[in-house]
Chains A and B, each alone.
Chain A
Amino acid sequence: MDTRNIMIVGVGGQGTLLASKLLGHVLVSCGYDVKVSEVHGMSQRGGSVVTYVRYGEKVYSPVIDKGEADIILSFEKLEAARWLEYLKPGGQIITNTQEVMPMPVVTGQAQYPEELVEKMRQAGARVDAEDFLAIADRAGSVKAVNIALIGRLSNYFPEIGQEVWEKAIECVVPEKFRELNRRAFELGRQA
């Protein structure tokens, strides 16, 4: 098989690293070669963050380049738009509809663009947009938004059974948050 490319994007502090850890865990348990590339440091202070997840028979480069991503999983709408150029033509975007204002918008130097979901569709992307913050809230805490998003992502892997994802949550999430995250996964998957 060709290498498949998943990008997880968001705002520093939103929990993208746990999401990529979980996805990496699932893909390794399925027997794939996997590479996950993260950004630590400065950008984790509320900046734009991206994690690359690549899997297949043999993965070389740890990074995903423009026009290469099969799926972009976005924790924030503007971030989905920012990384759109990395999507393959006709690729899939899964995005939280939450809006986190970046500092240039807060200070009035820039506007938060309107109707981003529609614009991304017009640019040729398939877009699955939903208020995952509300889903996480229903599961018990907005902090589980990352796992709710992973729940939705799991629908795009028909070859991987639900039990594999659940097992990965068990391995990656500390016990006291496990029940919350299991619910968030389930609600994200169903929604």
Chain B
Amino acid sequence: MTKELMLGNKALARGFYEAGCKVISSYPGTPSTEITEEAAKYEEIYCEWAPNEKVALEAAHGASLGGVRSACAMKHVGLNVAADPLFTISYQGLNAGLVICVADDPGMHSSQNEQDSRHYAIAAKVPMLEPSDSDEARRFVSIAYELSEKYSTPVLIKMCTRVAHSQSIVSLGERVVPGQVPYRKDPTKVMMTANSRNAHVRVEKRTGDLIEYAENCELNRVEMGDTSVGIITSSTCYQYAREVFGAKASILKLGMVYPLPEKLLLDFAAKVDRVIVLEELDPIIENHCKQLGIRVTGKDTFPICGEFSQNLVKNCLGMETPAYSALPETIPGRPPVMCAGCPHRGIFYVLKKNKCMVYGDIGCYTLGAVAPLNAMDLNVCMGASCSGLHGFNKAMGAAGEKNSVGVIGDSTFIHSGITGITGIAYNGSNSTIIILDNSITGMTGHQQNPTTGRNLYGDPAAKVDLEALCRALGFRRVRVVDPYDLAQVETVLKEELAAEEPSIIISRRPCVMIKGTVTAPALKADSEKCVGCRMCMQIGCPAIAMKDGKVAIDPTLCIGCGVCTQLCKFGALCSCEKEEK
């Protein structure tokens, strides 16, 4: 049997291949993005980037109704967007199997909140599997499809950052493709009144059947050993439990976290002296145990917030942790920064200079909030920059409208900004929205989107005309600026803030990280001309540093965007070409 070291997300993709999945529709989001990117490498699976997670889930469900095994993948907050279809698909049922991967981010390595997706499984009454390493991720996909088809329900596979972005050894299996299930019109599939009432009854019966399944399934396994302590756990916490308690501890490892078994838990608890429930985020297994009357050590001992590790578990239980030494001094932090030449930088500089209230959004440009730019006031979720600013301006009137902007990236705009700006035009706030069009979905690792003119495979695709779209939604003022031209950005910004109607400013420059983006030679610093005023340091470019009171350019980072030259009043930063002239 072939074995390979594989990322959890890649192993899920392998699982989709082996289970005969044919259609995957997703929206990128860390830590879920590689699931779809890796699946796209199998030519047997059609993959696409949908405009958002709701569209992705609806498309994947459509493929299931069309008779093939299908899937979608998203990060935890993406499931908020896809929640609407999820709840009713749960009622309506399927034709072929449908698997939804959702990746949580305990510790918030790359997320705006730490929500626990298991609540969605409970609320939508949909079974949820939770692998603890890459090989389980691969294996669980086939099991998920079997469950999905047997019980006519979508099945959630919940990942977390440490399973999604850890590599472990995977045994490869063969691809088995079930035959396409014929589509037949079924009047009970229309989800309204009587049909929905009947469907709800069916869902409740299904949950009962799934609890029966949970009692004896291969997903939930008892590993009996020393009976002084028994640990009930799932996901990566299983690994921490084994790390801390060793190979001889008794563990009930849950591979299915909704619905949870009852008898299995009671039997396990009866065999051990003390029960510990080890789970990250919310006390879901713990509360279930308590409902069954099992006394457990849980969130009275372990935190709800943040990610676990072996030392955290040991500390919480009063066990000894390894010794280590530290330096006496404070090590300066190294927060992430916008790349040298990032087209977002100039925009945020101008917004800061003009003391604008900036309602930000989700993407690389959220880094506009960090020092030295500190140019973002707020952000919430995808699209809130548009709709949130509208509400803010309705409350503030001209005092808000003349001084505030919403800032949203191209992919995020397509995801959830279009409806927001429609609200601005329709309900008439004089709001100004800046669309940062860098021709790519940047933060998640450069995925194509409907504004780039390319599909997931890089093939030509329909391209959204942002200017025409905004005009069609009711905006008469739509301006396009080059974010490398600070004077132009400032002039246009002032005009649009002053205008007595809503406006869109499109800041257009491709991300410097896209292959083939045209860059200029690195700038040169002239230490004779530099007076050490530090004006150029205000934009937080990682290619610019001060050495002995004078500006210095890192030629390996500088791409010659020239934004800093527009800040220097002494001509101390110049491009090589200009010098030659």
Judged by a CB distance under 8 angstroms, whether B179 is at the interface is no
Residues of B within 8 A of A24 (CB): 5, 167
Q: Whole-angstrom distance from the CB of B5 to the nearest CB of chain A?
A: 5
Is A106 within 8 A of B542, CB to CB?
yes
Q: Whole-angstrom distance from the CB of B422 to the nearest CB of chain A?
A: 30
Residues of A within 8 A of B3 (CB): 28
Of B33, B239, B243, chain A has the most CB atoms within 10 Å of the CB of: B243
Judged by a CB distance under 8 angstroms, whether A174 is at the interface is no
Residues of B within 8 A of A47 (CB): 334-337
State which residues 157-173 of B face A: CB under 8 Å: 162-163, 165-169
Bound form: Cα–Cα A28–B134 in Å: 15
Is A103 within 8 A of B324, CB to CB?
no
Judged by a CB distance under 8 angstroms, whether B546 is at the interface is yes
Judged by a CB distance under 8 angstroms, whether A25 is at the interface is yes
Judged by a CB distance under 8 angstroms, whether B545 is at the interface is yes
Bound form: Cα–Cα A125–B325 in Å: 9
Inter-chain contact total with CB atoms closer than 8 Å: 185
The residue in chain A whose Cβ has the minimal distance to the Cβ of B332 is A110
Residues of B within 8 A of A106 (CB): 537, 540, 542, 544-546
Interface segment among A60-68, A146-154, A158-166, A180-188: the answer is A60-68
Bound form: Cα–Cα A108–B533 in Å: 13
Q: Whole-angstrom distance from the CB of B498 to the nearest CB of chain A?
A: 32
The residue in chain B whose Cβ has the minimal distance to the Cβ of A43 is B336
Is A88 within 8 A of B336, CB to CB?
no
Q: Whole-angstrom distance from the CB of B253 to the nearest CB of chain A?
A: 12
Residues of B within 8 A of A134 (CB): none
Residues of B within 8 A of A110 (CB): 330, 332-333
The residue in chain A whose Cβ has the minimal distance to the Cβ of B322 is A67
Contact with B along A96-133 (1 / 0, CB 8 A): 00000111111111111100100110011100000000
Judged by a CB distance under 8 angstroms, whether B310 is at the interface is yes
Is B165 within 8 A of A45, CB to CB?
no
Contact with B along A28-57 (1 / 0, CB 8 A): 100001111111111111111000000000
Residues of A within 8 A of B327 (CB): 81, 84, 113, 116, 119-120, 123
Binding site for A on B (CB under 8 A): 3-5, 7, 30-31, 33-34, 109-110, 133, 162-163, 165-169, 236, 239-240, 242-243, 247, 309-311, 321-327, 329-339, 364, 367, 370-372, 443-445, 534, 537, 540, 542, 544-546, 556
A–B Cβ pairs within 8 angstroms, 19 of them: A34-B169, A36-B168, A39-B109, A43-B110, A43-B336, A46-B339, A47-B335, A58-B247, A63-B309, A66-B311, A78-B334, A85-B326, A87-B324, A89-B325, A106-B542, A106-B546, A113-B327, A119-B327, A125-B325
